Structure 1
Amino acid sequence: MKKHVYAIIAVLSFAGPFAMSFDRKVHYISYLPPLLIATLAVGALYIAWDVMVTSRGHWQFNDEFVGSTRLFHLPVGEWLFFLLIPYPSVFIYEVILAYFGTSPARPELAWIQFVLAAGFIIPAYIWRKQGYTLLAMLSASLYFLVSGFLTPGVIAASGYLWSMLLIFLAFVVVNGIYTALPTIRYNPKAIFGVKFIQIPVEDFFYNLSYIGLILTLYIPLKEVMGL
């Protein structure tokens, strides 16, 4: 059982929101098509990233909590993380929209997203010798750049902002467990070194870009599909 902890946490994170996906007010299950497309598109990019940096030694997985089985250097729990974690994350977004509503996006503020995209290039360059730091900063830059084009001004929408805040709080809990066990050991040469509750600061930008990009694709896909 111990060697399946990583996978079990991912499944449990998915199970609760899935059980509530048939709520009449939210009816989250009806949004599965755009969510699946966004998850697979963004997930493919991040899985490729994960495979590459794992082989380069940016981090290594602890067999004690993830088992010894690997597919392209990644344990089962890591694959489940990419496939299942977006589900509860977007669920939070939809619950907030359904029960609390949101202020509209303000496309005229898209410049803020582009400024943030440019801004993350600076720490990426400064810490370019720390592999994970470099890629985490570049991924955050990519998120703000893509969102500036596909969902301009979304960062001014109250529902989006509250969702990202709650998603981050959930991330602190789940990733805090992962790093406390630990399921993953980070190469000190690949990270900046600053941690919050044992979580490397890079993980926060990794999560921001991963879930942020999924929402960036999900929101316009949902509109195109008329959902």
Structure 2
Amino acid sequence: MSLYLFLNIASFLIPFLYSFEKRMRYCKRWKVIFPSLIITALFFIIWDIIFTQMGVWSFNPRYHSGIEFFGLPIEEWLFFICIPYASIFIHFSFQYFLPNLALSDTVVKKIYWFLMILIVPVAVFNYDRWYTFVNLSLFVIVLTIAVFKFSTILKTYFITFLIILIPFLLVNGILTGSFIEEPVVFYNDNENLGIRLGTIPVEDVGYAFTMLLMSLVLMKIIDRKNESI
């Protein structure tokens, strides 16, 4: 088994098994969760394919199976289901067991404007760095939609994302070369800020935030459509 496949399975397995836990019954939300994850995954996979072809990043054959589709290892395709599934499980677990864990609308708006003041100039002044510019631009768009259309999500997500970051950074750290001889994923530093959290490009934090928030927004949209039927 390749290291990348092992990381996917290990990340997915425990949340999957606990999806049948009697109290939370996360599995009951699968009809909403999986469509949202798949739609988000398709978007990010297309982006991934394009950036791989452009040389923004590449994959180390030493750590994947060698089975590829459109230039991406099969493990990379699985990443966009396994990691978001586990991350959103953490989000809903905190919502279920700590129902009062939520920020006020005022705090959500303050965090939003702080992030806009911080992120927008970085994106604008790094328009020539593909990963930085596209990643941060998408971050701004998705977060803005969420703030003005789905603010209830952010009341808890701004908190739970900090918890999600712990396992995410561990897995992503390994993927970018922490604890192993070579990275699983090579990043072209000409296309990012060159700032790393250990071995992780700082942009990856925004990438994770956007990917998960997009899934949560889609879940809310599907929920609303189901309620209207």
TM-score, scaled relative to structure 1: 0.88
**1:22-70 per-position Cα deviation (integer Å, ceiling 9, x unaligned):** 1111100000111112112211111111000100000110000013321
> CA–CA distance in 1 between the matches of 2:47 and 2:79?
14
Counterpart check, 1:99 vs 2:87:
no
Is 1:147 aligned to residue 146 of structure 2? yes
Q: Aligned equivalents of 1:53 and 1:151: distance in 2?
A: 30
- Find the aligned partners of 1:160 and 1:166 in 2 and give their Cα distance: 10
Q: CA deviation at 1:215?
A: 1.5
Q: Which residue of 1 is the match for residue 63 of structure 2?
A: 65
Equivalence map 1:208-227=2 (5 Å): 208-222=209-223, 224-225=225-226
Kept in 1: contact 2:173–2:200 (CA 8 A): yes
Q: 2-side partners of 1:130 and 1:46: how far apart?
A: 18
Offset of residue 143 of structure 1: 1.9
Q: Is the 8 A contact 1:117 1:143 kept in 2?
A: no
Is the contact between residue 6 and residue 77 of structure 1 (CA under 8 Å) also seen in structure 2?
yes
- Equivalent in the alignment of 2:166: 169
**TM-aligned CA deviation for residue 152 of structure 1:** 2.1
Alpha-carbon distance in structure 2 between the residues aligned to 1:105 and 1:151: 14
User: Which of structure 1's runs of 4+ aligned residues deviate more than 6 A?
Assistant: none
1:126 match: 125
Gaps of 5+ in 2: none
The RMSD of aligned alpha carbons is 2.2
Equivalent position amino acid for 2:144 in 1: L
The structural deviation recorded for 1:7 is: 1.5
Query: Identity percentage over the alignment?
Result: 26
In structure 2, do the counterparts of structure 1 residues 54 and 33 end up closer, same or farther at CA, with 3 Å as the change threshold?
Answer: same
Could you say what secondary structure the match of 1:60 adopts? strand
State the distance in 1 between where 2:22 and 2:150 align. Answer: 27
Count residues in correspondence. Answer: 222
Cα separation, 2, equivalents of 1:109 and 1:73: 43
Q: Is the 8 A contact 1:39 1:86 kept in 2?
A: yes
- Structure 1 residues 53 and 219, CA gap change in structure 2 (3 angstroms): same
- Quote the residue 1:74 is aligned against: 72
Give the drift of 1:104.
5.7
The 2-side partners of 1:37 and 1:102 are apart by 28
Q: CA deviation at 1:150?
A: 3.1
Any idea what the Cα deviations from partners look like across 1:188-217, whole Å, max 9, x if unmatched? 211110101110101111111111211222
Q: Which runs of 5+ in 1 are unaligned?
A: none
Q: Is the 8 A contact 2:153 2:216 kept in 1?
A: no
Partner of 1:207: 208
1:149/1:217 CA distance change after superposition, 3 Å: farther
